[in-house]
Structure 1
């Protein structure tokens, strides 16, 4: 068996380990799914009428507007769980034991990443299902749906590698649970909940140039037909940059551990 085939076999074993771990400890998965759903319902039914009036369509317009931001928040929330699981592995000695076994070193990180990506995409599917139930009405074609899913998947992979790196650098699982918290705030400080042109000048500048805004605008444009402009290219560039830097950071940290 070639080295590549061995690495693929070891990686699939680690992915199964992560998926079984999610099934055995469902409380975190449920929490990571419930949090964005609760925020979605609160914003739509408590603030949606007022905020939607500013968009010119009331609550129905607001639920369409806010869903892309909630989807990115769901991924950022799940990043917390990934960081905690990685920090737990690093602090409890299981990684040290893996190092004594004849397995691919890359498979340990691959298992965390693939397992987390699956978890996040399933969580996003739940959010979309709830959004459809409360009035979300996208007009995307099948091709546009696939493009939106591809954009979200690219974002999820990038943010997962970042959460893996943060988890490996955290001294304890408790510290790891706080490390990705700023990511959850970025949809609020972007175009996730209100248009950026309604913000004060300094905050608007930050909102327009931070990485989450072009990603949300791209997903919004694909699903709802709003203008995308250069946002798609910028969003892809942000995702590839964050993913590449985070991967190298995580790999270097793992090799030195």
Structure 2
């Protein structure tokens, strides 16, 4: 009688020793329960990966905090003397918005890498809810934006930032970067999944850098040339900064907040369908 080689017997033994955990929540793939469960599970995956990625953490948290300290040290005293208003009430909101936007761009580049590596296609053929891929990214983006905002405002409080309009206004202030960040994240996702080769997400960072230096948080609107003041006053970063300044220091809130809502909701409505359609195409066709 012949016997199988040792390595074959070990392989057979290894296969017989494998045990699988029994399924306890067998939701239909297209059910609401599956959408919630799968979205939360994938959001946890994304957040765990971000926590382990030094570049993403530096882009979303470290870089904005350093930028706030740098702006306050270089320009803070001059702007405060020129306007009579502490500059931190403009810089802290501005940097909170910058952190949410640059973090979304880092996430967009990571999404393109997952597309290139075929990871989106692997998830697409698994028995998971089709919408969980995009929903999980919005959930993880919301968590990241809130963490970034809390950190930036905490740094701002060390520099003199205060919630002068009460706790309810302070809570509303923390939600402004979240609202604007979700609109921006929807746009970045749409660009990422519809540009396999073109560096649209990377080029978007140049636009965001220009917006960072042409808004009402960097210097007052009146300090810009007359022909540029209309753009500076109504661009999305300025409206959000003005709303956050009003919710903390005092001043007009309704008009800049309404403009911020229009900018954010408009971005979500405009880019939601391209993001969904592009994600489906990217998941089905690896680069």
- TM-score, normalised by the number of residues in structure 2: 0.82
Question: What residue number does 1:82 align with?
Answer: 107
Partners in 1 of 2:254 and 2:200 — Cα distance?
A: 39
Matched, 1:224 2:252: no
User: Whose Rg is larger?
Assistant: 2
**Is the CA contact (8 Å cut-off) linking 2:56 and 2:107 kept in structure 1?**
no
Question: What residue number does 2:269 align with?
Answer: 244
Q: 1:43 aligns with which of 57, 60, 71?
A: 71
Q: 2:57 aligns with which of 29, 38, 51?
A: 29
CA-based RMSD of the aligned residues comes to 1.9
TM superposition shift of 1:173? 9.8
TM superposition shift of 1:229? 4.3
What is the 5 A alignment of 1:15-164? 15-57=43-85, 61-164=86-189
**Counterparts in 2 of 1:229 and 1:87: CA distance versus 1, 3 Å:** same
TM superposition shift of 1:174? 6.6
**Is the CA contact (8 Å cut-off) linking 2:145 and 2:177 kept in structure 1?**
no
Matched, 1:193 2:218: yes
Partners in 1 of 2:162 and 2:234 — Cα distance?
A: 28
SS in structure 2 at match of 1:179: helix
TM superposition shift of 1:9? 1.4
Question: What residue number does 2:38 align with?
Answer: 10
Partners in 1 of 2:56 and 2:135 — Cα distance?
A: 20
What is the 5 A alignment of 1:196-215? 196-215=221-240
The answer for unaligned runs of 5 or more in structure 2 is 1-26, 283-287
TM superposition shift of 1:85? 1.4
Partners in 1 of 2:89 and 2:120 — Cα distance?
A: 44
Partners in 2 of 1:227 and 1:71 — Cα distance?
A: 20
Offset from partner CA, 1:18-51 (integer Å, 9 cap, x none): 0111122234213321211122111111111112
TM superposition shift of 1:67? 1.5
Q: How many residues were matched structurally?
A: 254
TM superposition shift of 1:106? 1.1
TM superposition shift of 1:140? 2.5
Offset from partner CA, 1:78-116 (integer Å, 9 cap, x none): 122111111111111011111211111211112222112
**Is the CA contact (8 Å cut-off) linking 1:82 and 1:167 kept in structure 2?**
no
Partners in 2 of 1:140 and 1:181 — Cα distance?
A: 35
Mean Cα deviation higher: 126-135 or 182-191? 182-191
SS in structure 1 at match of 2:132: helix
